[in-house]
């Protein structure tokens, strides 16, 4: 969960384009944000580990390392940086 300077609430810090914005603390309480359908959908996908067909950025996230026992924070399952960037951020990939 990440709160942006403007008060919008995103699922994670890899959401450079704000595609997973599911609340706004300027107009909603944190409880209300957690009750939104968008949050519930994201939470369900993360709880079940099933992202296929969800349309969420998480579907191609390189940080989902459930199959690795030696996962470290901010690790990646991709060896090629360009492949990683292409999957996690359209804005950043334009810089390459």
- Mean pLDDT, the chain, rounded, equals 75
- Summarize pLDDT for 43-57 with one digit per residue, the tens: 888 888 888 888 888
The domain in which residue 56 lies consists of 2-93
Distance, CA of 15 to CA of 42 (rounded, Å): 13
The per-residue pLDDT for 29 is 94
Alpha carbons 95 and 15: distance in angstroms, whole number? 16
4: confidence class by pLDDT, cuts 50, 70, 90? confident
Number of domains in the chain: 1
pLDDT of residue 80: 63
Query: What CA–CA distance (Å, rounded) separates 83 from 39?
Result: 27
Task: List C-alpha distances in Å: 23 to 15, 51, 71.
Answer: 14, 21, 30
Residue position matching structure tokens 């989902």: 64
């Amino acid at each position: 969960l990440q709160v942006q300077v403007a008060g919008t609430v995103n699922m994670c810090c890899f959401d450079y384009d704000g595609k997973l914005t599911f609340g706004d603390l300027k107009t909603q309480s944190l409880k209300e944000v957690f009750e939104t359908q968008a949050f519930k959908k994201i939470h369900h996908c993360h709880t079940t580990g099933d992202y296929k067909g969800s349309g969420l950025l998480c579907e191609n996230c390189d940080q989902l390392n459930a199959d690795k026992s030696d996962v470290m924070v901010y690790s990646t399952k991709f060896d090629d940086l360009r492949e990683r960037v292409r999957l996690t951020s359209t804005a950043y990939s334009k810089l390459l």
